[in-house]
Amino acid sequence: MKDAPVIEAMHLHKAFGATVALEDLSLTLRPNEILGLLGVNGAGKTTALNILLGLTTPTRGTLRVFGQELMPNRVDILKRCNFASAYVSLPGNLTVGQNLWTFAQIYGVKNHKAKITELLELLEIPHLRSRVTGQLSAGEATRVQLCKAFLNDPELLLLDEPTASLDPDISDKVRKFVRSRQQAQRTAIIYTSHNMRDIEEVCDRLLFIHKGRVVAEGTPTAVMTLFQQESLEDVFIQIARSEAGDVFGAAKTAK
Amino acid sequence: MNFRIVFALVCRYLFLYTRNWVRLAEVIFWPTMELVTWGFLTRYLEGRMGVAEAGPFTWMLGGVIFWDVMFRSQQGVAISFLEDVWTRNLLNIFVAPVRPIEYLASAFGVGLVRIAITVLILWALSWIFFSFNLLDIGPSLVPFFGSLLLFGWAIGIFATALIMRFGQAAESLAWAVPFLIQPLTAVYYPVSIMPGWLQWIALALPSTHVFEGMRGVMAGAGFSWSHFAWAALLNAVCLLLAGLFYHWTLSTVRARGLLAKVATN
């Protein structure tokens, strides 16, 4: 059971009144795999991410994480997961050390002092430990969030646009850190980004969502080949500018 | 319930207070201003009516302090939730292995700390400046404060659920809900002066029984077990209803996808 799926989502459907945000999403994520979730704004990827995090309940479909249904086993499952997002912050009035201590306690991290020191050093920010979180630059705050996200050596990690608003240097460092840590710990990661370079460099497989439906799935190279494009950015633009019917037609080919 | 998690969450709020003196001033400033206002009013009434006649007006100072116990208890819960909304940290908490009961328990703990600070200061000020010693109420203080603490938690849970459901636009409810109750719960006057139909509503609130009981003790009538029993029973009902409402609201906001919106907007 070493490679049993970390996430098994079957036919997830979410409607908000008459608006269908997600339609028939099925995905499997295995250990040591990074799955990129792509889509234009409003495509349904945030809804998908929120369902995977247990923040939103699906209208239909089943979701199993570590072989268990998510909602009834939420706390046990979340102990083995973590999350970081460009749109979420740690309390700005606390120091970095206080914030990381709090989450180390919440996740029950053993030997938390050593773990926090190790991660801060790996992310090249040990000097920030006593700094007030609200005074950090975007790049520093993102790295502190990543430190929090890897505190409990998660088996499943959800990263929501971790390189948004970062300069190329810091983005590169973040990508390398995520990749190296993930490989060392066989972490399964769901990774969303609008930065196609991120996706090409970091993700093993990707899933394009458009108007609530999966329109393409495969390795970055396979998807580019199937859409006859030279870059993922061109695939993204092609999907974004297509009529829904065209894209769904292309998706059949892609799959 | 995991007490390590509760302890960590309480410490997080305390870190916030130690790093931000403005927040701490809020726990001290408003209650002090209220005490001073009511204290001078009491002095004025004593001057107009003679100390012997006006003695019962010390009710008011008791009322100020007792009201603050309930208000700070409620604020401990509602403001703790809002702190997470304001700092955009709510998602970090809701996707962490934190049970709702652990989250609420930490907010209750924060409420206790806020009350301890406020009561200590009000007790000292009212004794020094207005010759009102809270400890003269005697051991009855314990059940009175306990009842107000529980009712404050119940209102705090209710207000938090409303904010969760209606978002930051509804954050003024954190302050408004207790003040909706204040005129009904007879903080500064006896229930008997209310119209008959309103008395029934007033007596359905656990806090009313505490304020009536407090006035009874201060008038020398002794501790009313009847009021205490009613307060305890009504608190149990209010906490149960607030808990159910919170649970139902959490399910509703999950179904409507509102939780992530409250947390990130």
Per domain, the residue ranges of chain A are: 1-75+203-255
- The pLDDT tens digits of the residues spanning B5-14 come to 999 999 998 8
Q: Label each residue of chain B as H, E or C.
A: CCHHHHHHHHHHHHHHHHHCHHHHHHHHHHHHHHHHHHHHHHHHHHHHHCHHHHHHHHHHHHHHHHHHHHHHHHHHHHHHHHHHHHCCCHHHHHCCCCCHHHHHHHHHHHHHHHHHHHHHHHHHHHHHHHCCCHHHHHHHHHHHHHHHHHHHHHHHHHHHHHHHHHCHHHCCHHHHHHHHHCCCCCCCCCHHHCCHHHHHHHHCCHHHHHHHHHHHHHCCCCCCHHHHHHHHHHHHHHHHHHHHHHHHHHHHHHHCCHHHHHHHC
Beta-sheet pairing, A188-192 with A34-38: parallel
- What is the band of B238 on the pLDDT scale with cuts at 50, 70, 90? very high
Query: Whose CA is closest to A108, among B102, B17, B191, B75?
Result: B102
pLDDT above 50 (res A191): yes
Contact B5 A105 (CB under 8 A): yes
CA of B94: which chain A residue's CA is closest?
A55
Q: In chain B, what are the domain boundaries?
A: 3-264
Helix or strand run (H / E) with residue A228:
none
* CA A193 to mean position of chain CA atoms: 8
Average pLDDT over residues A222-235: 87
CB count in 10 Å sphere of residue A2: 5
Rounded mean pLDDT of chain A?
A: 88
Angle made by CA atoms A207, A44, A213, in degrees to the nearest 5: 60
Taking the C-alpha atoms of residue A106 and residue A85, their distance in angstroms, rounded to an integer, is: 18
pLDDT of residue A252: 46
pLDDT of residue A187: 93
- The pLDDT tens digits of the residues spanning A30-81 come to 999 999 999 888 888 888 999 999 999 999 999 999 999 998 999 999 999 9
Tokens 């410490």, residue? B11
CB contacts of A92 in chain B (<8 Å) are 87
pLDDT above 60 (res A253): no
pLDDT of residue B207: 95
- The pLDDT tens digits of the residues spanning A92-104 come to 889 999 999 999 9
pLDDT of residue B141: 83
pLDDT of residue A163: 85
- The pLDDT tens digits of the residues spanning B107-160 come to 899 889 888 988 899 899 888 888 888 888 888 888 999 999 999 999 999 999
- Across the interface, of A85, A94, A108, the residue whose CB is closest to B91 is A85
CATH code that applies to domain A1-75+203-255: 3.40.50.300
CB contacts of A102 in chain B (<8 Å) are 8-9, 11-12, 15
Q: Does A73 touch chain B (CB under 8 A)?
A: no
pLDDT of residue A237: 87
Lowest-pLDDT range, A103-117, A241-255, B245-259? A241-255
A212 with A15: CB under 8 angstroms? no
Contact A56 B20 (CB under 8 A): no
